[in-house]
Amino acid sequence: MIKKTLDEKAFQLLKEKMDQGLFPQWVLTDPDIYELEIDKIFGRTWQFLAHETELEDPGSYVTRWMVNDPILLVKNRQGEIKGYLNSCTHRGTQLCTADHGNKKTFTCPYHGWSYNLDGELIGIVAGNKVYGEEMDKSEWGLREIPQVASYQGMIFGCLDPAAMPLEEYLGDMKWYFDILLGRSDGGMEVRGLPQRWVAKANWKATAENFAADPYHVQTTHRSTVELGISPEDPLYAGYGHQVVTENGHGINVITSKTGKARVPYQGTPESMWPMFKKNLTPEQDDILSKVTVFVGGVYPNLSFVSPIHGTEGHLHNYLNFRMWRPIGPEKVEVWCWFLIDKAAPEEYKEAAYRGYLGSFGPTGTLEQDDTETWARIVEVSKGLMMRDKQLNYNNVSNYLMGFDRVEPDETYPGPGIAYPTTYIDAISRSMHENWFKLISKDLLLKEAVK
C-alpha cells in the first residue's frame, strides 16, 4: 500500500492543483497509483466487453479481459448473454483460450470438469467415485461476472455488484449512443475479431487522447494537412462542441468552420438519410446531419470515433470502438473494433472498412502517429523531477485550455454540458475529477479511522 504521510499530503496537493486546472505528472505512471487504479477504478466501474453482433447464435462465445480478469462471454440457449470468470472452479485453470467460437459445453483440459452455457457444472470425470455423494455440483458452477448489461448492443460488465446500473452509469451518453449505434434499422454490426496490439502508453493518456483532445489533431496528424487531406486552418478540429456528461464520459461533436460538415450525414449513402431521420429525434438528426467527426469516451477505458474518412474523393463513415486494457503503468493492450450500419449497402461497408484500415487501428496512418506521442509521454515519466510528489519542479501538466473562460453554449440541442469549441480541456478535467473521486474513495476515510 502507499506510504501514508507523504501520500496524504501528496493527495491534498493533487486536489489543490487539479482545482487550478493542473494535473501532477507523478500520478501518470506511478506503480502504487496503478495498483490503486486497478482496484478502485477497474474493480468498480463498467467496462466494455463485446458487441451483441459478436455473439449471434446460442453457443456463440468470445473470450475477453477486464484488466486481469479473464471473461468468458456466451449466448445461452434462451438467447441471453452470460458473463463468467473464464476459470475452472476446480483449480482455477483458464477454461477457454480461443478468441471465439461456438460450443455447447466448456471442458477444462486439466481434470475434465465441464460446464454448460448456463455455467452449470455438468460433468466431473469419475465424479461420484472420487468425490462421493456429498459433493453438490450446483455449488461448483462457473462464477458469474457480478453485473452484465447492454445498451444499444454494447455489452458491458462490472465486477462490483453494488455499482449503479449500466444505464444510470452511461447517463446522457446514452443519447449519443442512440445516434452512433441506433441511427439505422437493425443497428450496427461488428466486422470480425477486434485488432489487438500492445502500445507503449498509460491508459489514462490514451483514453484522454481520444475522448478529450481534438487539440492534438492539428499537430499529431499534420501529415494529413501536408498531403492536402485536412485543412490548413489550425482550428479545423476545434469547430463544434465538446460535451461533458456524467461519470467522466464525454463526446466531441466536431463540425467545421461553417458549422456543418462538407457532406451531410458523414458521407453515408443518401438512401439511408430518411432512415436516420425516422430513428432519431429532431435534435439528434440535426447534430448527425452536420457533424464531421464524433469522438469521445466512456470512462474509464472505452473510446470511440466516428469520422468521415476518404482520400481521392471517396468519403465513408464508420464507427470504431476501442478498449484500452491496462497491462502495466506503461503498457496498454488496445482492442479495436470496426462497426458499420447493418443496413448499409455491402460495397459501402467494404469501402468503409478499407477507410478504417487506412486511418485507425495499428496500421492506420492517423493512429500510427498517436502511438509515437503516447510512447514519448511514458518514456520520460520515471524521472525524479516528474515523479516529485511535492511538485517542487512545477511538474504538473497543463489543462488550462478554456479553464474558467469558456462558458457552456445554452443553445446546444443535446444533453450534457456543451462548450462551443472542442479545443478545450473540459472533458479531461472531468475525467481527472472522476479519477480522483474513485481513487480517493475510502482512502482518506481509513486515515480518519486511524
Partner 1 sequence: MNSGLSIPITAQLQMEIISLLNMEAYYLDNGKYKEWLDLLSDDLIYRMPLRETLEGVRADNVSKDASFFEETKKSLTTRVNRLYTKSAWVENPATRQRHFISNIMVESMENTSEFKVRSYFLFKRSRGSTHDIEQMFGERNDIVRKEGDQWKIVSRTIIPDQSVITTMNMSMFL
Place of cell 489550425: 234
Instruction: Write down the least CB distance from residue 98 to partner 1, Å.
Output: 4
Q: Which helix (H) or strand (E) holds 169?
A: helix 166-170
Using the minimum distance from each CB to partner 1, give the nearer residue, 98 or 449.
98
Answer for the pair 321, 304: CB distance below 8 angstroms, yes or no: yes
Instruction: Write down the least CB distance from residue 376 to partner 1, Å.
Output: 9
> Does 165 sit near partner 1 (CB under 8 A)?
no
> Does 358 sit near partner 1 (CB under 8 A)?
yes
Residue 172 amino acid letter? D
> Does 372 sit near partner 1 (CB under 8 A)?
yes
Helices (H), 212-311: 217-220, 222-226, 273-279, 282-290
What contacts 449, CB < 8 A, 6 or more positions away?
none
Place of cell 480518519: 448
> Does 199 sit near partner 1 (CB under 8 A)?
yes
What CA–CA distance (Å, rounded) separates 283 from 276?
A: 12
> Does 200 sit near partner 1 (CB under 8 A)?
yes
Exactly one of 357, 391, 406, 443 binds partner 1 (CB under 8 A); which one? Answer: 357
Laid out side by side, the sheet with 47-51 consists of 47-51, 154-158, 147-151
> Does 193 sit near partner 1 (CB under 8 A)?
yes
Instruction: Write down the least CB distance from residue 106 to partner 1, Å.
Output: 10
Segment 7 to 66, residues that bind partner 1, using CB under 8 A: none
Q: Where are the beta strands (DSSP E) in 172-237?
A: 188-190, 195-200
Segment 376 to 405, residues that bind partner 1, using CB under 8 A: 379
Using the minimum distance from each CB to partner 1, give the nearer residue, 270 or 312.
312
Nearest to 245 by CA among 164, 321, 175: 175
Exactly one of 1, 57, 78, 98 binds partner 1 (CB under 8 A); which one? Answer: 98
Orientation of helix 426-440 relative to helix 4-19, angle to 10°: 150
Q: Is the dihedral of CA 195, 200, 203, 208 positive or negative?
A: negative
Q: Is the dihedral of CA 386, 389, 393, 399 positive or negative?
A: positive
Candidates 50-58, 140-148, 196-204, 418-426: pick the segment binding partner 1 (CB under 8 A): 196-204
Using the minimum distance from each CB to partner 1, give the nearer residue, 93 or 365.
365
What CA–CA distance (Å, rounded) separates 416 from 163?
A: 22
Candidates 128-136, 224-232, 239-247, 254-262: pick the segment binding partner 1 (CB under 8 A): 224-232
Using the minimum distance from each CB to partner 1, give the nearer residue, 224 or 317.
224
What CA–CA distance (Å, rounded) separates 53 from 168?
A: 23
Q: Which three cell numbers stand for residue 184?
A: 439505422
> Does 191 sit near partner 1 (CB under 8 A)?
yes
Candidates 14-22, 118-126, 237-245, 369-377: pick the segment binding partner 1 (CB under 8 A): 369-377
> Does 236 sit near partner 1 (CB under 8 A)?
no
Using the minimum distance from each CB to partner 1, give the nearer residue, 199 or 396.
199
> Does 101 sit near partner 1 (CB under 8 A)?
yes
Nearest to 70 by CA among 38, 95, 90, 106: 95
What contacts 255, CB < 8 A, 6 or more positions away?
239, 240, 261, 290, 291, 292
Helices (H), 28-87: 31-37
Segment 326 to 345, residues that bind partner 1, using CB under 8 A: 333, 338
Candidates 99-107, 206-214, 271-279, 297-305: pick the segment binding partner 1 (CB under 8 A): 99-107
> Does 375 sit near partner 1 (CB under 8 A)?
yes
- In degrees and rounded to multiples of 5, residue 417 shows phi and psi of -95, 110
Instruction: Write down the least CB distance from residue 105 to partner 1, Å.
Output: 12
Exactly one of 111, 196, 216, 387 binds partner 1 (CB under 8 A); which one? Answer: 196
# of chain residues touching partner 1 (CB under 8 A): 45
Exactly one of 362, 408, 413, 415 binds partner 1 (CB under 8 A); which one? Answer: 362
Q: Given the rule CB under 8 A, which residues bind partner 1?
A: 96-101, 103, 191-200, 219-220, 222-227, 311-312, 333, 338, 353-354, 357-358, 361-363, 365, 367-369, 371-373, 375, 379
